[in-house]
Each structure stands twice: as C-alpha cells, then as structure tokens.
Chains A and B, each alone.
Chain A
Amino acid sequence: MNSNSYDLKANKAVSVNFKDINLSFGKTHVLKGINLFIEPGELFAFLGPSGCGKTTLLRLLAGFESAQTGEVIIGDKEVSYLPPWQRNLGMVFQSYALWPHMTIRRNVAFGLEERHVPRNEINRRTDDALKLVGLYELAERQPSQLSGGQQQRVALARTIVIEPQVLLLDEPLSNLDAKLRIQMRHELLDLQRKLSITTIFVTHDQEEANTIADRIALMKDGVIQQIGTPVELYDKPVNRFVADFLGTANFFEGTLEKSANQCVFNTENGLSIPIDNCSNDLENSGCSLVFRPQNINVSTKKLSGKDNSVQLQGTIKGKEFLGSTIRYRLTVKGKDVFADVTHQQGKRLIEDGMTVNLGINRQQMIVVRD
C-alpha cells in the first residue's frame, strides 16, 4: 500500500444530528423521540436487541425510511427530505449487497460512474480503493467467487471509493465466522482512524460495540436508553436494562429508603443494604441494586468487615468454568447471584451446597431504575 489517495486524506469529518425523531410503521411506533448528536470523526455504535429500532435509525439517516417528525442534520445541512442518492453517505449492508451481475471492479466503480466522474479518475480511484482493502488482484472476479470476508471488503471498498461524508455499517460483522470477525473488527477500526471519517455502525453484539466504538447509543423499544463511552455504560448504567445488557450483572429488587445522611436499600427478600451515593429521584419508585460478579469476594472463611464492604451469606448451587475465572451460581436469601473467582492452576473449587461468605465493596453497588 504505497502512494495512495487515502494516505493524504484531509480531515473534513462531519457531525450527525438527530432531533426529535419519531417514526412509525403503520401502528407500530418504531423510533420514539430520538435526540442524538454524533461528533465529527467519531466511531459510533447503535447497540440494542433485535427490534429496538437501531437499524431503522441507520436507514433513516441513509434516506431509506422517512420519519413522521424530527430532523436529520449532517454537518450543518438538513437532509430529512433528500432521497438516498443525494445524501452522499456510504452504507455497507448486512448482506453486503454486491451486485452478482457485475465484476468486483464494476461493483466498486458503480458509485463513481453514477457521479459522472471522468473515466481515468474512476479507474485510478477504483484501483486505490481495491488496494486499500487488499483485493486489487481479484478485481475481475464475480462476487460469487469470493469468500464472505472478501465480499465484505469489496462492500467496504465500494462504499469508501465515493468518499462519503459518513460511513454507515449495518451489522458489518454478523455474517463472518468468529475468528474472522475479530480480525475484521480491528481492520475496520484501523481503516476508520486512517480515513478519519465519521462512522456509525449497528450491532446487537455488546462485545463488538465495546471493543471498537468511541461512544455507544444503547437502544430498546425505539428509545435511546443511554449514550456514552463503553466504560460509562458499563460502570454507570442509568437503568436495569443497560446494566443487564452490558456484561453480566446481579440484581436485587427492592426500594430505596433515605434518612438524614444515609441511604438504605431494602430488598424484596428482606436484606437491608447501606448505600453510599444515592440520588433523590429513585426514592419510592421500583428500582434494583446492581453489582457485577467480579466485584464479589467469595470466601469459605469469615471475612473481615473493615474494608467498608457489605457482608452477605450464600449457598453454592453450581459452577461454570470460563477459563480465566470460575463463575459460581449461589443463592442469597432465595435470589440467584453469580460470583466470579479468578482461576489459577491447582486452586481448589468450592463444593456445591457449601455456605460461603460474600463481601461486596459498597463503591461497586449502585441503585438503578427498573
């Protein structure tokens, strides 16, 4: 990859702004009051379970759906009423959508031909794009002769060759096998950094979002639940859904009780747990106490209570071997709780049925809305 037009890319990344978007398909309200600002040059993820509206939001940006209310602004231009072909956004489809009746070269050149770019420039830029994704040698093949990973690269090349303002990726890695997926993840990240182009990708895989996204919008039922960096979403979830969707979490349902200078969380199964930092608005509403498996100290011996941790007792019901850790399934007053213990060679496992002491640092426990 020597002298190539993509090496000299000037940074002209644009922002994307969704304002008060509401979209319905017939009677189904698919996007509800979406407000979202994506910074220029950001690698941004729409994350959520299937049916949450993340793909619809991406397709709305691309111009394939139209919202009943709201505005979509790219850079400083409102595009809500522009047809897809006038938006200059590059979208890579989940199925790659390579045209089977055209060679790889013709697939990649298509967007430039539609823009009536001079022939010699089309050839040069097509070559550059194919070299960038490492498929220059396969340019004359038909799409059906390529592997899944190669097809994906063609789809990428076809999209970036038109130098789109924003790159849109719809579940870009879901059709690849596990190993290739991780490799492509890094390639995508490298490419995005190299082009410094605002990029939005849709995924249902939290690991995928966590590893490469600058920021994530986590969605459910057409509503953005939380926007933030992966660490923010993991450490400071705003509600039970966010906490549950990212990683594994333990929940105790109950109510928050606030006295003079101390909060206490009363669980439904009869525990009273003191809470360090609690906000007012959670009082008297249904909420849950959240703590992660890796923050539980499991011991067969009595734990010293001096490290400001909450002390509980539980019974081992089973265990899963995850390699680096052992995940114990316990019951604490009738509630299932997962606790992770680092695994080391030769370390004795705790037998099922044993009663153990659990210590959880109060800093690691937070109360969230249900």
Chain B
Amino acid sequence: MAITAWSEEAVSEIRKHPGMAAVMLLISLFLLLFLVIPVAQVVFAAFLDSTTGGFTLLNFKDFFNTALFRESFWNSIYVGLMAVVIASLFAMPLAYFTSRFEFRGAVIIQSLGIIPLIMPPFVGAVAMLMLFGRNGSVNLILDQWFGFTIPFMEGLNGVIFVQSIHYFPFILINLSAALQNIDRSMEESAQNLGCSGMRLFRRIVLPLAMPGYVAGASLVFLKVFDDLGTPLLLNVNNMLAPQAYLRIASIGINDPMGYVISVILVVIALGSMWLAMLSLKGKDYATVQKGGGGLAKRRMRPWEKFFAWIIVLLIMGLVLAPHIGLSMLSFGTIWSYSILPDDFTIKHFATIFAETPEYMTNTVLYSALAATIDVILGTAIAYIILRTKLIGRQWLDYVAMAAVAIPGLVIGIGYLRTFYGFQVPWLENQPVATWWMAIVVALAVRRLPYALRACTAALQQVSVSLEESAENLGAGKLSTVRKIVVPLMAGGILAGFVTSFATAAVELGMTLMLVSKNSDGPLSYGIYVYMQSAAGRGPGAALGIVAVVVVGLCTLLSYIFVDRRQKKLGMGQAN
C-alpha cells in the first residue's frame, strides 16, 4: 500500500513538472557519465588484480608495505593537521578582535579574509621560497643581523607554511560568522545568572562558536590534504597527492598505485567531512533573535590595542608576502642569494604575451565555458530541489555536491581511465580524455558545487509567492522562470559564475593530468611548466600575476554589480 501511494505521488509529480523531470534526467546522466563513472573507475581499478582481473586487496597491501608510501601517507596527514593548527593561530585572534572589540583594524581584518583566496597556493609557493627559503630575504636579514635562520620552508614546513597562509581565511570567515551570529542575549543571560569573564567565554561563547570553527577547520584539512600543486612546486614529493601524480605520469595509467592513493585521498576527504558533520550533529545553532545580534563589544585598553595592532600587522605581512614576492619575482631580473632582485624589468610579461598567449586565452575559454555550464546546471538543480518534489532530487544535490570531496587529481585520473580508449570521432588520433573539451567538462564538474550553492542561495531568496502570483496572472511555467525567477536570481547566478570561473582558472591538479600538449594548457599549467626551471621563474611569476589580476578583478566587479543590484531591488527587506 505504502509503495503504491509513494509511486502514485512520484508519477503525479512528474505529470506536474514534465519539463523539469526531463531536465533532471539529463543532468543525472551528465553527472553519472562525468563524475560518478570516472570516480567509480578509479575505485574499481584500485581493487583490481592486474593479472587475474578479479577483486583484490593486494594493491593496498603493497601500498602499506612500501616505506615511501607509508611515509607519504603520514606526511600528508601531518601536513593537513599542522596547517589547521597554524591557520587557527592566524584566524582565532583576528576573529576575536573583530567580534569582541570596537577595533579600527576590523576593515583590514576583513580584507585579510579575502586577499589570500584570490591567489592559489601553488602560485605563491615559489615566491615564498624566495622570501622565506633557506637563502630567502627574511633568513638573509636574520642571518646578517642576528646570526641565525628559521627553517620556514624546509621540506614539509614549506607546504604547511604556504597552505596555512592561504587557507586560514576559511577558518576566519566561518569563525567570525559564528561569533557574530551569537545573540547578545545569550551572553547577557549568562551574565545575569552570574557567569562572566573567561568562564563565560569557555561555557557560552566558545561552544556556540564551535560549529563555525569545525566547519572551517575541516575545510582547511580537506583542501591541504588533497592539494597537489603546492608540494609539487616546492619539490616536496613524499606526500600522497604528488606520489599519485608521479606514479601515473612516470609509469602510466595502468599502475595500480595511482588508483590506490586516489582512493585513500577520497576516503580521508570524505572521512574528515563526515567527522566534522558528526561533531556538529544537533549543534546547528541559529541563535540570532530579532533585534540585536553579535556579542557585546567594548573599546580596547591602550596596551590591548598595541598588541592587537602588532598581531594584525604581522599577519597582514605574512598574508601579503606571496603577493609581494610574486610581484618582485615577475618584475625582477635575477633574484638569488639576495634580499631583493638585482634589477627590475617588464620583459617577463613581454615573454608570456609574445610566446605563450594561449595559456591566457585557453584559461578564459575553459573557465568561461565551465562556469557557464555550472550556472546552467546549478540553476536547474536548485530549481528542482527547491521548487519540485520530484523523487530523487535530494540525490541529485548530494552527487553534485560530492565533487567538493573529490580531489581534482582523482577526477583527472578517472577521466584518463574512463575516456582514454575513446576517440573524438572527427579528430584524428585524439582520445576523448585529453581533448580540450574534456578539461572544460572536468572543470565544470569540479566547480559545480560552488555554483550550485550560490544558485540555491539565490533561489531561496526568491519567495515562492512571487512565482505563484505570476502564474496566477496568467504566466506559464517557462514564462515565469524567464521573466521572474531568473531575473531575480541574477545576482546569485553571477556570483556563482564568478566563483566557478575564478577557481576553475587556477585549478592545477586536474589539468596536470588531462593536458596532453602545451598548446592546450591553461594558466595554472603554464605556471607549473615555467616554474620547473630557474630561468622560467620570472615568466611563471608574471603568469601568476595575470591569474591574480584576472581573478581579483572578476571578484571585485561581480561584488560591485551584486551589491548595486541588491540595493536597487531593496531585496532582503522587501521579501
């Protein structure tokens, strides 16, 4: 009985939205073909006995019996955890200053929360080597003046250092939001009941802010654990992601170790997300009531202000270091064993525009196409999830979002495994896997979660009654979507497009796997290729500057556009 009622409902829902049901089917097929099957192929290959073709755990046994792999495994875990610790050290005081005090540096702190994100860590990695390496500017100064050096960039330290500077905004943003969402009355009622000072902080403020911190921290761990570009550029190869890449690149796509490492990467990534969710279970506090939000703020005492500024400026220096270093590298002539480059020039920029403009044009083409696919899919999925009751819509959401937990490297390997055997019919000797459109599709799949989140948030802001009133006045479904829904979602769709575009423009792990010839390579690939040699560092850094400028400008422009639009529509208050 229950089953027939259920299926009856399913059928009637399909009848209600026949167009959307068809769209949902198409999207499901797309995700199945370009996300589920490639990842499944990777998992399958990891458990495949290469001689018999049967199921085996031998590959995993081999993995853990090899000293280098064991070392890489623990190194990756160690780097991930240490990056969380260091990033927390950066983020916590900053979040505390802004939420607890009337602090003039709050604007700077907000900017600090954005600046690192517009430069991918691997781009700044070499620049950081120039500044903080054994013979970098900082250690040269320390050595000259104080006679000692600090091994910032030695081995794993370098990866931890670069990654924590890059990713600490995730913790800062989440933690600040969580602190700001604590209603003042929570604090005041505790004070009213006799609790104050550190005790108040420990018993009320910290537990309420914990979900935000854990969300940010797990994201940092995930990102650092999966990252391929930074260790590769710092020449740290005894970690998991570089090992997977090197195995596939040097031995070939039939080597099982690449797949085993991929499976381990995915499992740990999913595991850390799951742990984060578990620790947050039932703790999703929405505490802001109507009226005032945020903790009570007070003015800083002079000595507090002094220390706060020192900390803020120190962190600002670190955050800007990759940008400064990269600029100097891109404009410098020779920079070696010296605090500053010998001289400045623009010839590196001339080089990249003259010799390898395709890196830039490819990036714009790939990212724009991928972002377009993303916002179309994102809008459609958001509509299906929020506005229909089609059976399986939740699964569509889960699968699309799962791409967050799949490292780009793994998707790249999956594409090679799945599509290498197929030829593009109208091109000679061109496997589908390494065709440039494959890069576009892979980028789109990988960045879909960002666009989907933006589109979902945008659609959530559009009250259903705005659509219903259009239908009531005679507009059909399609007309309603075209004239009401999409115009009202425009801001969110644009935000989704920019996020997808900007992050796709600097994706490295996946492009390294899929780019078969230099002429197909995007910026990130170009930076990697240039940075391989000392002579290429200048042009590589120049490409990096181009990437940062493109990403930064896009972000700024979309922010301005969305902000203006929101003000013009008076959204947020009207509906």
Q: Is the CB–CB distance between A93 and B476 below 8 Å? A: no
A105 to B453, CA, bound (A): 34
**Any A CB within 8 A of the CB of B173:** no
Give which listed residue, A86, A94, A162, contacts B465 with CB less than 8 A: A94
A115 to B476, CA, bound (A): 11
Give which listed residue, A94, A111, A145, contacts B570 with CB less than 8 A: A145
Which chain B residues lie closer than 8 Å to A37 at the CB level?
none
Least distance between B59 CB and chain A CB atoms (Å):
47
Q: Is the CB–CB distance between A143 and B570 below 8 Å? A: yes
B296-337 CB mask vs A (1 if < 8 Å, else 0) is: 000000000000000000000000000000000000000000
Which chain A residues lie closer than 8 Å to B470 at the CB level?
99, 110, 114
In the complex formed, the residue of A with least CB distance to B566 is A100
**Any A CB within 8 A of the CB of B279:** no
A94-131 contacts to B, CB under 8 A, are 94-95, 97-101, 110-111, 114-115
Give which listed residue, B466, B473, B574, contacts A111 with CB less than 8 A: B473
Least distance between A196 CB and chain B CB atoms (Å):
21
Which chain A residues lie closer than 8 Å to B50 at the CB level?
none
Q: Is the CB–CB distance between A99 and B474 below 8 Å? A: no
Least distance between B7 CB and chain A CB atoms (Å):
14
B435-470 CB mask vs A (1 if < 8 Å, else 0) is: 000000000000000000000000000010110111
Q: Is the CB–CB distance between B468 and A99 below 8 Å? A: no
Which chain A residues lie closer than 8 Å to B65 at the CB level?
none
Q: A84-B468, A97-B463, A99-B466 are in contact. Are A158 and B570 (CB under 8 A)?
A: no
Q: Is the CB–CB distance between A93 and B468 below 8 Å? A: yes
Give which listed residue, A98, A111, A142, contacts B474 with CB less than 8 A: A111
Which chain A residues lie closer than 8 Å to B281 at the CB level?
none
Q: Is the CB–CB distance between A99 and B484 below 8 Å? A: yes
B97-111 contacts to A, CB under 8 A, are none
Q: Is the CB–CB distance between A91 and B575 below 8 Å? A: no
A115 to B475, CA, bound (A): 8
A122-154 CB mask vs B (1 if < 8 Å, else 0) is: 000000000000000000001111000000000
Most chain-B Cβ atoms within 10 A of its Cβ — which of A66, A85, A86, A98? A85
A143 to B465, CA, bound (A): 15
A144 to B568, CA, bound (A): 9
Which chain B residues lie closer than 8 Å to A88 at the CB level?
474
A247-266 CB mask vs B (1 if < 8 Å, else 0) is: 00000000000000000000
Least distance between A85 CB and chain B CB atoms (Å):
5
**Any A CB within 8 A of the CB of B4:** no
A142 to B574, CA, bound (A): 11
Give which listed residue, B468, B469, B488, B573, contacts A101 with CB less than 8 A: B488
**Any A CB within 8 A of the CB of B487:** yes
Which chain B residues lie closer than 8 Å to A84 at the CB level?
468, 471-472
Q: Is the CB–CB distance between A114 and B465 below 8 Å? A: no
B473-488 contacts to A, CB under 8 A, are 473-476, 479, 483-484, 487-488
Q: A97-B463, A100-B569, A142-B569 are in contact. Are A90 and B575 (CB under 8 A)?
A: no
Most chain-A Cβ atoms within 10 A of its Cβ — which of B468, B472, B569? B472
**Any B CB within 8 A of the CB of A318:** no
| Contacts across chains A and B counted by CB atoms under 8 Å | 86
Q: Is the CB–CB distance between B573 and A144 below 8 Å? A: yes
B535-575 contacts to A, CB under 8 A, are 568-571, 573-575
A95 to B462, CA, bound (A): 12
Q: A144-B570, A144-B573, A144-B574 are in contact. Are A83 and B471 (CB under 8 A)?
A: yes
In the complex formed, the residue of B with least CB distance to A116 is B474
Q: Is the CB–CB distance between A85 and B476 below 8 Å? A: yes
Which chain A residues lie closer than 8 Å to B471 at the CB level?
63-64, 83-85
Which chain B residues lie closer than 8 Å to A159 at the CB level?
472-473
**Any B CB within 8 A of the CB of A62:** yes
Q: Is the CB–CB distance between A95 and B463 below 8 Å? A: yes
B1-57 contacts to A, CB under 8 A, are 12, 16
Q: A93-B465, A94-B465, A114-B479 are in contact. Are A143 and B472 (CB under 8 A)?
A: no
Q: Is the CB–CB distance between B575 and A100 below 8 Å? A: yes
Q: Is the CB–CB distance between A162 and B474 below 8 Å? A: yes
Q: Is the CB–CB distance between B472 and A89 below 8 Å? A: yes
A85 to B488, CA, bound (A): 20
Q: List 9 A-B contacts (CB under 8 A).
A: A66-B16, A84-B472, A85-B471, A87-B472, A91-B472, A93-B468, A97-B466, A101-B487, A155-B469
Q: Taking beta carbons and an 8 Å cutoff, which residues of A are in contact with B?
A: 62-64, 66, 83-91, 93-95, 97-101, 110-111, 114-115, 142-145, 155, 158-159, 162
- Lowest 10 CB-CB distances: which A-B pairs, in order? A144-B570, A111-B473, A97-B465, A114-B474, A97-B469, A84-B471, A100-B569, A93-B465, A91-B472, A114-B475
Question: With A90-B473, A95-B575, A97-B463 given, can you name 7 additional A-B contacts, CB distance below 8 Å?
Answer: A62-B472, A84-B472, A86-B474, A91-B472, A99-B466, A158-B469, A162-B473
